[in-house]
Amino acid sequence: MTVSAAKSDDPGLGAEPSAGPAAAPERGAGSGAHSLVWEPGGPYSLVRTVGSLQCGAHDPAFIHHLGGIWLAFRNDDGAATVRLEQRGALNDARVHATAWGPGASAAIESVPILLGADDDWSHFDTPGFQASLPELARKGRYLSPGLRLPSTGRMLDAVARVILEQKVTGIEAKRAWRWLLVRHGDEAPRPQGAPAGLRLPPTAAQWRRVPSWDWHRAGVDAHRSETILKAASLASGLERLAAIQSASQVTAALCSVSGIGPWTAAEVLQRTHGCPDSISVGDYHLAAYVGAALTGRRTDDAGMLELLAPWSGNRQRVVRMLYSSGFRKPTYGPRLAPEDHRQR
């Protein structure tokens, strides 16, 4: 694994050429751009690795644009816009990263971990461990050898997003995330070539200022909005959890917040820490999916945990490989349709 970094006073370093009249001049890009080239030293897929961080195709903080992936977020130094582009084939991949804005330096330093540099699959890929896996998991690894688990380290952003996903359809959660970022997140630093509409997730203070009627317009019920507001009030403590490597300690701390349970904690850990063992107990679909994939029959949470027990420490990796295999569980009856209560 190789990392090389550079800084340029040219705010357009690494950016795509202007897309024409729609491209706006650089705004808020700080004194210059910071760049980095990361070589994973093995099979790698940028899209498969960071794709789980995108909250739907219209996520304002994660945009595919002109061959690159653009991310907007804050760190201790301030706001940053980061462009990621994979060059080279699967087995000879390099990721070129460029960051702009007040938080660009810290953002570029966090890129390798974001890209899964700390996610070690070497034991998972040994012949002995592979032999212990179910056929579908082996198939999934064969089809996606470049997948790694990303680590953002940004707790409040992940907590707020996952809370929006509690007990609703994906369509509702994605719509709420987009609606709230567009209206209550700030515009991200925008260098030349960046996509229009790139937004920063709200800060803790901005979450706390969202009025009740805007939660309603976003389709977010009182339970979820109150939980996000509680998390925002504890933001500094939540962010300190990023430095804790023990999944059980982070889970316990998250679950001490009213409205956050094991499912939410697991979903957060998967994004912030790249936890290879974190299982979303209580998920509406997961237990039935795992049961169908491993036994041909649906099961409940207890049954899922029993089935995954032989691969303790790698259970999230096994689940990701099951999904990567292309297996889909049988469906019965109509899909759950979202209900819109905003006009009532």
Q: How confident is the model at residue 332 (pLDDT cuts 50, 70, 90)?
A: low
Residue 10 has pLDDT above 80, yes or no: no
Q: How confident is the model at residue 54 (pLDDT cuts 50, 70, 90)?
A: very high
Domain 2-119 coded CATH 3.40.1000: yes
Which residues neighbour 231 within 8 Å (Cβ) at sequence distance 6 or greater?
A: 156, 159, 160, 163, 207, 238, 257, 260
Segment 317-333 shows an average pLDDT of 90
pLDDT of residue 342: 59
DSSP letters for 9-46: S-TTTTPPPP-STTPPPPBS-TT-EEEEEEE-SS---H
pLDDT of residue 318: 98
pLDDT of residue 12: 42
Nearest by Cα to 149 from 219, 223, 44: 44
Domain boundaries, the chain: 2-119
Residue that the structure tokens 């009627």 belong to: 213
Q: What are phi and psi of 25, to 5 degrees?
A: -65, 160
Q: How confident is the model at residue 337 (pLDDT cuts 50, 70, 90)?
A: low
Segment 85-98 shows an average pLDDT of 96
Segment 211-239 shows an average pLDDT of 98
Q: Residue 198 burial by CB count (10 A; 0-12/13-18/19+): exposed, middle or buried?
A: buried
Give me the percent of the chain exceeding a pLDDT of 90: 86
pLDDT of residue 13: 32
pLDDT of residue 121: 97
Q: How confident is the model at residue 16 (pLDDT cuts 50, 70, 90)?
A: very low
What pairs with residue 335 in β-bridges? none
pLDDT of residue 19: 32
Q: Which range, of 2-16, 72-86, 115-129, 295-309, averages the lowest pLDDT?
A: 2-16
Q: Which residue has the higher pLDDT, 344 or 1?
A: 1
pLDDT of residue 329: 86
List helix spans (H) across the chain: 46-50, 104-109, 111-114, 127-132, 135-143, 155-164, 170-184, 204-208, 212-217, 222-233, 235-240, 247-255, 262-272, 286-295, 301-308, 315-324
Q: How confident is the model at residue 28 (pLDDT cuts 50, 70, 90)?
A: very low
Residue 7 has pLDDT above 90, yes or no: no
Does the pTM exceed 0.85?
yes
Residue 338 has pLDDT above 90, yes or no: no
pLDDT of residue 186: 98
Interval 161-209: pLDDT, tens: 999 999 999 999 999 999 999 999 999 999 999 999 999 999 999 999 9
Segment 29-37 shows an average pLDDT of 77
